[in-house]
Structure 1
């Protein structure tokens, strides 16, 4: 029944109640406090950033063995981040009593630079995931973490906020769906129209152009900063977005518009949804309008988000609500640049 309701394009409010609960790590929004002990300096300074490093993740009384590996694309480069994003692979099954119960492999978004100001970019990207959670249960849950980094020698290093991102398999499982197995490029006709339209309207609102629903980067699998899930092995596929650091809402200092798109700044909005989904885009915009108060409230719930950052972010997002205030506004401001 749930699969049928999702396929019929019911609102997020209707489908959210039907989604299975997430695993313990993502069942709560309260920040957790963990320690990662290992060769932290070597992890950050690894020449090719392709190595893996043994470490221990401590949470409460749990000491969990793991392997750490740098990850990412832009943030993997040393000229962008002193400290790259991290992939955590647990080398044993965390106990049932652990906050990490049921987890095998996780992405951890880190602070990128030692400059304390970079914490605000982490928090804004975390908030962006939370915004999309309000619109659909077919989205990546996130969990904020205060991470103490400790060297093998026991020397205490830095302590910074980061956040874990739910595994795609778990997103699919709690929605009674599966990860889609696709090639490098897929036809637009294989996308669920309602989900694709919601995806595109949301990306417009946060002013993010760094994504593709149809294909991945050259030489990579589909899709760019999005993943596909479906109720079966066959289409239609739901596209689930991630990586929002290139959005105007986050406004990271290294963010720039993708090549081939004629905007001069990541803060310039441009709609890139498909024209065949215009009717669904109007419905998606109406659903998002109904969530405005809840979406704005997210920014008041983020610990350590500076008041100046909150005001700037909410003002930026509020302007996008003006752009979708009515169906006529959506047609004028968004659909005129839809992609055929």
Structure 2
């Protein structure tokens, strides 16, 4: 089974075309719309934030949104963003304590990742929006991606409002698999030949576009638990071929350029904004077609970027300029060969 990035011209909305390969009735209510949510989390927020570096213990809490109230547990998650030297507020794991009703916005939700604001300063809202934009760009490129929902989140602790900041929720990989008619594959490390070549080509090119080197499609830090900042989908949970990688966690990318982001030490780069192509040589023959589709889709991708609510003009300008560097690198087949394909792995 092969799937393709849809080549579009002008400002045609990529997302509407990309969704043609998914089952609309399988999209959960929470991720069926893009309208930003107003959401309130009430619980021991300070305790979770202050203890995040050493603990991911879950605590009873409450989630309120869209006129609904849900009992949940709340826990810190992640690795680098849990370190106090990087962030004063960690990303969170939300688990619903009870199964939501069919009429609920949270219907079919069980466990959700929340990307939070890192520090209680307005500039960090722009960092949140940059990473949200990276997800939205990949949503525009392909339905084989994790959907996201932007939210303005009020944090309550013991009846006291601590802060209200931007964040976003990430679709669970099982839900993404369901709408695509696939299954999440829980596997250890595997060979790149197990991937659908077109999907691997698209994935590697996109990661280069956003300047992300903090990923691996086939391997993870624990050989028994693949993969690094990627989920894998297949025809069944036991599938070991024709696999599709889904990327996540883009805060170390050049497009996001988070204040706490550090360059990939293995690659010996000076800054996270320095692009390094990490795609597989085995799919080189497929990359030129994917690059052409991105060239054709450039106006639509920029339109998607400009549609992100809350992006400040300077932030938008920086991101557009950064994407411009990518399109310079793939301006034609000669540039693509020189800047990317000759440096494959």
TM-score class, shorter-chain normalisation, is over 0.9
In structure 1, C-alpha distance between the alignment counterparts of 2:295 and 2:30, rounded to whole Å: 30
**What does 1:72-151 align with in structure 2 at a 5 Å threshold?**
72-151=78-157
What is the match of residue 4 of structure 1? Answer: none
- 1:299 Cα deviation (Å)? 2.3
What is the match of residue 10 of structure 2? Answer: none
Deviation digits for residues 256-275 of structure 1, max 9, x if unmatched?
Answer: 12221021111111111011
What is the match of residue 19 of structure 2? Answer: 16
Cα distance change, pair 317–220 in 1 and its aligned pair in 2 (3 A): farther
1:49–1:76 Cα contact (<8 Å) kept: no
- 1:335 Cα deviation (Å)? 0.6
- The runs of 5 or more residues in structure 1 that have no matched partner are 1-6
2:18–2:140 Cα contact (<8 Å) kept: no
| Count of residues paired in the alignment | 331
1:316 aligns with 2:322: yes
What is the match of residue 43 of structure 2? Answer: 38
What is the match of residue 222 of structure 1? Answer: 226
SS in 2 for 1:30: coil
What is the match of residue 11 of structure 2? Answer: none
SS in 1 for 2:282: helix
What is the match of residue 29 of structure 1? Answer: 34
**What does 1:168-317 align with in structure 2 at a 5 Å threshold?**
168-183=173-188, 185-218=189-222, 221-232=225-236, 233-234=238-239, 235-317=241-323
In structure 2, C-alpha distance between the alignment counterparts of 1:8 and 1:300, rounded to whole Å: 30
Following TM superposition, the consecutive aligned residue runs of length 4 or more in structure 1 with deviations greater than 6 angstroms are none
In structure 1, C-alpha distance between the alignment counterparts of 2:264 and 2:298, rounded to whole Å: 28
Deviation digits for residues 12-42 of structure 1, max 9, x if unmatched?
Answer: 4776313112111111111010111111111
2:63–2:70 Cα contact (<8 Å) kept: yes
In structure 2, C-alpha distance between the alignment counterparts of 1:61 and 1:94, rounded to whole Å: 13
SS in 2 for 1:54: strand
What is the match of residue 156 of structure 1? Answer: 161
- 1:293 Cα deviation (Å)? 1.1
In structure 1, C-alpha distance between the alignment counterparts of 2:104 and 2:295, rounded to whole Å: 38
- 1:220 Cα deviation (Å)? 6.0
